[in-house]
A and B are shown apart, each in its own frame.
Chain A
Amino acid sequence: MVKKKKDTVEITTVSEPTLIETADYESNLRANLEEIKKYDGVVGYILRNTTSASIDLKDPTKIIDYAILSSTAFDATEEVSDLFKLGRVKNIIVNGKNVRMLSLTVEENKISIFMENNADTKKVLEKLKAS
């Protein structure tokens, strides 16, 4: 009984700072996404995690199409990565004729940024990694 009580105490003390960190991280990520949205050529983003999703696209008529594309890209990548032993996926870039999609998973968040083909992908990636 004494041991169990001790364990509980330990868990509580550990989980509190983690929650704060996660909240900080989330708000930081969202702030960075808002900033990325202002970059030249960026047309919007989709952010999904286990509990919520945020979609911000300049053209709202594309929301469903882009959301499905983002989701299928993550699914396909998971399988292909296993097949070819690519390891944990750092990022996915899908260059379309009109738009480029950059997707990556950070912690539990699946992020897809949509941009014009001439947008600075590297700059976007760096900003996301800085979250």
Chain B
Amino acid sequence: MDNEVYAYALKNTLDEIQKICPDIKNAFVLTKNRELIARDEDTPEKTITRAVSAFEEMLEKAQAIGGVEDVTIEGINGRLNVSRLDEIYLVTVTSKQADLEYVNTVTHVIVPTVLRLLEKLSPAPLKKNPPTPDIEPEEPAVERDEEPETGWVEEPETDKHQEQLEPTEKSETILPETPVNQLIVEDLKGLLAPSDTVRIDSNIIEEWNELYEDWTIEEADIETFSGKSTRCKVKPIKDAKLDGKGKIQIPSKVQLTLDVKKGELVRVKPAVE
């Protein structure tokens, strides 16, 4: 998959996000080197170029605080947000009446999901380092001769992985790359709520179970953007109003451990090792 396809997929993602969140007036995606990858139809390239150049120096000087993870500019008519999602910067401009929790849920769930999907279909063109051999060797060596009908799997890469794996011969259980989800913290209250269990979207647990077929995911690692992390038991969200909305219900004790509060973002990944 080349950069063009990657950009096309991201552009479509931005357009779809704007359809479900009309309060997002502008959206575009930049690489870590501030090169434009994709933009929505309403944002002229010239405007983005000027915005990037305006931000350039600030992003450089932000090394003083460890590099930028997130920037929010709140104006009386709207808000601009720059979020760093792994290898990219996602920039959104929302109107003043936007439901920020909803916007964040949509953008911080959909875009990373699409990025992960693109990376799975093909090694990410935006990442300079190709994936290490112990990541994603999904096809067993026996099936190597069978040509995939769709052509989605890139043969040369697969072969390279397998050639590198062959010397070790006894292939141990090789796990796929651990997916990381960014979720918004919700309180988990109730007398019967165990203090060591978090609840997340049922579809995320399903995805994990599909990804790790031979494993039952019972625990997850939760990490805050300030670097604090903990491992908890994980179960699907019971409350239908919260399920599927990119939320994670965390008991107050765990919130204290992580130093997070309702509405904040955390990274969650399955504990599989």
Contact = CB atoms under 8 A, between A and B. Distances in A.
Interface in A33-68: 62, 65-66, 68
Contact of B78 (A77, A86, A93, A117): A86
Interface string B52-87: 001101100110111111111111111110000000
Contacts of B47: 83-84
Most A-side CB within 10 Å, residue of B50, B66, B71: B71
Interface string B90-121: 00010000000000000000000000000000
B26 interface: yes
B54 A117 contact: no
A46 B141 CA distance: 61
B215 interface: no
A87 B65 contact: no
Given A81-B75, A87-B77, A96-B65, A73 B58 contact: yes
A32 B67 CA distance: 28
Contacts of A86: 73-80, 93
B58 A84 contact: no
Contacts of A96: 62, 64-69
Interface stretch (A3-11, A17-25, A98-106): A98-106
Given A65-B64, A86-B79, A93 B226 contact: no
Interface string B150-186: 0000000000000000000000000000000000000
Interface string B224-267: 11110000000000000000000000000000000100000000
Most A-side CB within 10 Å, residue of B68, B69, B226: B226
Given A94-B62, A99-B66, A84 B51 contact: yes
B70 A89 contact: no
Contact of A84 (B25, B69, B71): B25
A116 B75 CA distance: 24
Nearest to A69: B61
Chief secondary structure at chain B's binding surface: mixed
Nearest to B71: A94
A90 B65 contact: no
Name the interface size band of chain B: 20 to 34
B65 A77 contact: no
B75 A68 contact: no
Given A66-B64, A69-B62, A73-B58, A95 B74 contact: no
A14 to B, nearest CB: 28
B75 A87 contact: yes
Contacts of B77: 85-87
Contacts of B73: 77, 80-81, 86, 89, 91-92
B93 A92 contact: no
A95 B68 contact: yes
Contacts of B80: 80-81, 84, 86
A67 to B, nearest CB: 10
A118 interface: yes
22 contacts: A66-B65, A75-B54, A76-B55, A76-B57, A80-B54, A80-B55, A81-B73, A84-B25, A84-B47, A84-B80, A86-B73, A86-B77, A87-B75, A89-B75, A90-B76, A95-B69, A95-B225, A96-B67, A96-B68, A99-B65, A117-B226, A118-B259
Given A85-B78, A91-B73, A116-B226, 6 more contacts: A76-B57, A79-B50, A79-B51, A81-B75, A93-B70, A118-B226
Interface of A: 62, 65-66, 68-69, 72-73, 75-77, 79-81, 83-101, 114, 116-118
